[in-house]
A and B are shown apart, each in its own frame.
Chain A
Amino acid sequence: MDRENSIAVVTRGLKKRFGGNGATVEALRGVDFQARLGELTFIVGPSGCGKTTLLSVVTGLLDPTEGEVDLFGQGIHRLPANQQIDFRRQNLGFVFQQYNLLPALTAAENAAVPLIAGGVKWSEAVDRAKALLDHLGLNGRRDALPAKLSGGEQQRVAIARALVHEPRLVVCDEPTAALDHATGEKVMELLAAKAVHPDRAVIVVTHDSRVFHYADVIAEMDDGRIVKTEDKRLKEVLA
């Protein structure tokens, strides 16, 4: 697949304003952004520059004030609410900064949640999640509760939860922010090795410059705009 035909996410003139009555905050000021299948796209920038807002709007969790978002050719914000939720459940995987695992569920059960939410039977979903956890190097910890797991292990469970239903887009919000450098490196290595797939796009929001070298594309944001895009793949092709 050529790069032009592999575009998974496109935003055009994306604007997002919060508040009103004179206290308006403009979080996004006309963002044009792309992410491709088979690539790891980083959105980087200082705190408060609009990275997380962009991620929320791209995934349909927030509606834009202006502009459009296309996910795999589908205008997600034009879908009715229920279809939007279905679309998100089937096509998106999430990795959160604070993992957001359910404390009462084991690692395997946590990883199985998207499958269960999609109607897969409990036992089948947990079996599939266990297989994925084994693949991610957590074979001895799949029956452990989150409280018994280290930060790195919890984030790996969160990655398993994001991948278990084989989504076409995985979004990661500061996946290394709560981890020490060595663990963060391992998590990013795992993400790059296991999440990136020819039929899947991966977007990572981070301000951790130590992991930038894993990116295929880096979109740098400042003050609600993308101010610079570094396309390493393109450089390789041109070189």
Chain B
Amino acid sequence: MHLIALKMLTGDRAKYLGLIFAIAFCTFLLENQTSIFAGILRRTGSQILDVTESDIWVMDAKTEYFDQTKALKDTDVNRVRGVEGVQWAVRLFKGNAVARTMDGKFAASLCFGLDDATLTGVPRKMLVGSWERLREPDAIVVDKAGYLLLFPDEPLQVDRTLELNDHKAVIVGISDASAPFLSVPIIHTRYSQAINFVGRERTQLSYVLAKSAPGVNLDEVTHRIQAQTGLLARTTDEFRWDCIWYYLKNTGIPVNFGITITIALIVGTVVAGQTFYLFTLENLKQFGALKAIGVTNWRLTRMVLLQAITAGAIGFSIGTGMAALFFELTLHKIATRGLVLWWQSVVLTAGCILLVIIIASLLSIRRVVVLEPAEVFRG
């Protein structure tokens, strides 16, 4: 009877393809939008994750997210170093500078000043050039997207000169830094150099990057830092999530994406569910004939479930394939780099599609089960 069920499903090509398309479209929209949403939220903390050497970020006690900084005192780095369980601690400066090419093209950029001695926080993956050259005078490393923003359609090339807030800067390396929340060039340089670029103020230190000692509980160290310095200490993962929650609570991003995802879910559910339900209704007479012939309700239920699961699986697979293709095509584009199809999104969508299929199946099965087989005698 399984083959009969599948032949019934695929017999009317137009309805079958309509059903598959509805599920595939719903799948694509859900996976696409939830993955982009997750990817954009991930970008809010991407520069935090790019710093791989340290595991603790220390900042002003009122800091809520990465882009909101209040300068610390230069002595704070030594106070952090003095906390038990801290293996080492270094300075990190974060500021904004206007980068301008010799042709006059300019862009506001995010400028990181790294500890002069250790260069902690430098992007380790370089596409062109070398981060070790940051020790040279006026040296900066710029990310690929920023480079292409300043030098559109030009090959990646080091030793080119920029102006950063009217100071000369030489590109010694082009990095593959993660995409930031805003599409601005990301510039890494030495701490002392960055202060020159951005402009000296009374206090300069944005963050203290610290590393916990081996074998020491990370949470205990952050609690000790907070207790002893009065500053806020967060692990890399905690700080990344702080940023995500801040944007979730304080921006329209979740509402915007939420509406799209909800509409995708509702439209997909209604169209896919209703198409399958109508498909069953149109086959009721055939189900009635099968009942009269002696096919049990349980076997008919299995037939309907098989039809629903088959349509759902094919539609979901096609939709997931479309979503994967979309992200494959956009992954290497500058504006959408780093946006990928999240496995969590695939699992979530699979759950939604399964729910749709179950609801549509239950409604359909109910109609089949309550159907009087004697109905087939009524013309």
- Which A residues contact B (CB, under 8 angstroms)? 52, 55-56, 59, 61-62, 82, 85-86, 88-90, 92, 94, 96-98, 100, 102-105, 109, 113-114, 116-118, 122, 161, 173-174
Q: Which of A82, A100, A118, A174 contacts B286 (CB 8 A)?
A: A100
- Residues in B neighbouring A61, C-beta threshold 8 A: 292, 372-374, 377
> A102 to B286, Cβ gap below 8 A?
yes
Cα distance A104–B10 when bound, in Å? 8
Given known A-B contacts A104-B7, A104-B10, A89 and B373 have beta carbons under 8 A apart: no
Q: B11 at interface (Cβ–Cβ under 8 A)?
A: yes
> A116 to B12, Cβ gap below 8 A?
no
- Residues in B neighbouring A118, C-beta threshold 8 A: 294
Q: B290 at interface (Cβ–Cβ under 8 A)?
A: yes
- Residues in B neighbouring A173, C-beta threshold 8 A: 377
Encoded as 1 (CB less than 8 Å from any A CB) or 0, chain B from 1 to 28 comes to: 1011001111110000000000000000
> A113 to B293, Cβ gap below 8 A?
yes
Cα distance A98–B377 when bound, in Å? 9
Lowest 8 CB-CB distances: which A-B pairs, in order? A104-B11, A89-B294, A100-B289, A56-B374, A61-B374, A104-B7, A88-B294, A61-B373
> B288 to A100, Cβ gap below 8 A?
yes
> A103 to B12, Cβ gap below 8 A?
yes
> A102 to B8, Cβ gap below 8 A?
yes
Cα distance A190–B378 when bound, in Å? 24
> B285 to A100, Cβ gap below 8 A?
yes
> B11 to A103, Cβ gap below 8 A?
yes
Q: How far is the CB of B6 from chain A (nearest CB, A)?
A: 9
- Residues in A neighbouring B8, C-beta threshold 8 A: 102, 104
Q: Which of A56, A82, A88, A89 contacts B377 (CB 8 A)?
A: A56
Cα distance A116–B377 when bound, in Å? 22
- Residues in B neighbouring A105, C-beta threshold 8 A: 4, 7, 11
- Residues in A neighbouring B293, C-beta threshold 8 A: 88-89, 94, 113-114, 117, 161
Q: B379 at interface (Cβ–Cβ under 8 A)?
A: yes
Nearest neighbor of A103 in chain B, beta-carbon distance? B11
Q: How far is the CB of B232 from chain A (nearest CB, A)?
A: 66
> B377 to A97, Cβ gap below 8 A?
yes
Cα distance A92–B4 when bound, in Å? 21
Q: How far is the CB of A210 from chain B (nearest CB, A)?
A: 19
Encoded as 1 (CB less than 8 Å from any A CB) or 0, chain B from 166 to 204 comes to: 000000000000000000000000000000000000000
Could you show 26 A-B contacts with beta carbons less than 8 Å apart?
Answer: A52-B377, A61-B292, A61-B377, A62-B372, A85-B294, A88-B292, A88-B294, A89-B293, A90-B294, A94-B293, A97-B379, A98-B379, A100-B285, A102-B7, A102-B8, A102-B11, A102-B286, A104-B8, A104-B10, A104-B12, A105-B4, A109-B4, A113-B290, A117-B294, A122-B3, A173-B377
Cα distance A92–B289 when bound, in Å? 13
Q: How far is the CB of A189 from chain B (nearest CB, A)?
A: 23
From residue 206 to 249 of chain B, which have CB atoms closer than 8 A to chain A? none
- Residues in B neighbouring A174, C-beta threshold 8 A: 379
Q: How far is the CB of B297 from chain A (nearest CB, A)?
A: 9
Q: How far is the CB of B130 from chain A (nearest CB, A)?
A: 67
Nearest neighbor of A61 in chain B, beta-carbon distance? B374
Q: B355 at interface (Cβ–Cβ under 8 A)?
A: no
- Residues in B neighbouring A122, C-beta threshold 8 A: 3
Q: How far is the CB of A108 from chain B (nearest CB, A)?
A: 13
- Residues in B neighbouring A59, C-beta threshold 8 A: 292
Q: How far is the CB of B189 from chain A (nearest CB, A)?
A: 70
- Residues in A neighbouring B295, C-beta threshold 8 A: 85, 89, 117
- Residues in A neighbouring B286, C-beta threshold 8 A: 100, 102-103
Q: How far is the CB of B275 from chain A (nearest CB, A)?
A: 17
Identify which of A82, A117, A174 gathers the most chain B CB atoms within 10 Å of its CB: A117
> B7 to A94, Cβ gap below 8 A?
no
Identify which of A86, A104, A117 gathers the most chain B CB atoms within 10 Å of its CB: A104
- Residues in B neighbouring A82, C-beta threshold 8 A: 296
Cα distance A86–B292 when bound, in Å? 11
Q: How far is the CB of B17 from chain A (nearest CB, A)?
A: 14
Beyond known contacts A96-B289, A100-B288, A103-B11: 19 more, CB 8 A cutoff: A52-B377, A52-B378, A59-B292, A61-B372, A94-B289, A94-B376, A97-B377, A97-B379, A98-B285, A100-B286, A102-B289, A104-B10, A105-B4, A105-B11, A114-B293, A117-B290, A117-B295, A117-B299, A122-B3
Nearest neighbor of B6 in chain A, beta-carbon distance? A104
Nearest neighbor of A59 in chain B, beta-carbon distance? B292
Cα distance A122–B2 when bound, in Å? 10
Q: How far is the CB of A198 from chain B (nearest CB, A)?
A: 24
Given known A-B contacts A100-B289, A104-B10, A104-B11, A116 and B294 have beta carbons under 8 A apart: no
- Residues in A neighbouring B290, C-beta threshold 8 A: 113, 117
> B294 to A92, Cβ gap below 8 A?
yes
Nearest neighbor of A173 in chain B, beta-carbon distance? B377
Cα distance A105–B378 when bound, in Å? 23
Encoded as 1 (CB less than 8 Å from any A CB) or 0, chain B from 346 to 373 comes to: 0000000000000000000000000011
